[in-house]
């Protein structure tokens, strides 16, 4: 039976680095929703964001999430930080055959870790202030979809081991 593992959380929470390692350890495919959008469109998140606007990006993100979740083989899915903003995505996550894990830490810690990049136009100006505001706006939404909450203010190896245990328990 399919049981995906979906990682949610703010930028800098380690969805990609944790997800890649967990997927490798479990022998599952790893899907990153931002990569999925970029591969589908042949454009970077930044290009879509700046040329077409955030709503256009959010629509592509919604498609990426839905498609990733319908795959028959259990995957590890890193869902981009903003997926929880749309109620439709939250419903999709709650209804999915998936264990949803919120990678959580204080936004100051995330701001120190989060790298700027072509898929993160929102961090161009003031990552610290942005991530604090995002935590205030979104923490309740992550909590709403999460089956489990993992504290990521810890060494990567410990986080990966905990997430692998969850996946094995539910897989």
- Residue 11 near residue 121, CB atoms below 8 Å: no
- Footprint of ligand S3P on residues 31-50 (CB under 6 A)? 34, 45
Among 14, 19, 74, 82, binds ligand S3P (CB under 6 A): 82
- Cα(167)–Cα(28) distance, integer angstroms: 11
Among 96, 122, 145, 167, binds ligand S3P (CB under 6 A): 122
Among 81, 102, 107, 135, binds ligand S3P (CB under 6 A): 81
Q: Minimum CB separation from ligand S3P for residue 92, in Å?
A: 16
Nearest residue (CB) to ligand S3P, 66 versus 165: 66
Nearest residue (CB) to ligand S3P, 139 versus 171: 139
* Binding residues for ligand S3P, total number by CB under 6 A: 11
End-to-end CA distance of the chain: 8
Site string for ligand S3P, 140-169 (x = CB under 6 A): ------------------------------
Q: Minimum CB separation from ligand S3P for residue 52, in Å?
A: 13
- Residue 34 near residue 128, CB atoms below 8 Å: no
Nearest residue (CB) to ligand S3P, 27 versus 55: 55
Nearest residue (CB) to ligand S3P, 8 versus 98: 8
- Cα(147)–Cα(118) distance, integer angstroms: 30
Please give the residue ranges that form the binding site for ligand S3P (CB under 6 A): 11, 15, 34, 45, 80-82, 119-122
């Amino acid at each position: 039976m399919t049981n995906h593992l979906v990682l949610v959380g703010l930028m800098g929470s380690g969805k990609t680095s944790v997800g890649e390692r967990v997927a490798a350890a479990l022998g599952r495919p790893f899907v990153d929703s931002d990569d999925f959008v970029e591969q589908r469109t042949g454009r970077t998140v930044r290009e879509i964001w700046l040329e077409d606007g955030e709503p256009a990006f959010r629509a592509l993100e919604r498609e990426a999430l839905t498609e990733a979740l319908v795959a028959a083989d259990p995957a590890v899915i890193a869902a981009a930080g903003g997926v929880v903003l749309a109620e439709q995505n939250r419903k999709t996550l709650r209804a999915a055959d998936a264990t949803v894990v919120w990678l959580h830490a204080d936004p100051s810690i995330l701001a120190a870790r989060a790298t700027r990049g072509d898929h993160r136009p929102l961090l161009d100006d003031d990552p610290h202030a942005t991530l604090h505001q995002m935590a205030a706006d979104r923490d309740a939404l992550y909590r709403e979809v999460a089956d489990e909450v993992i504290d990521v203010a810890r060494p990567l190896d410990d986080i990966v081991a905990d997430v692998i245990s969850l996946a094995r328990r539910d897989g």
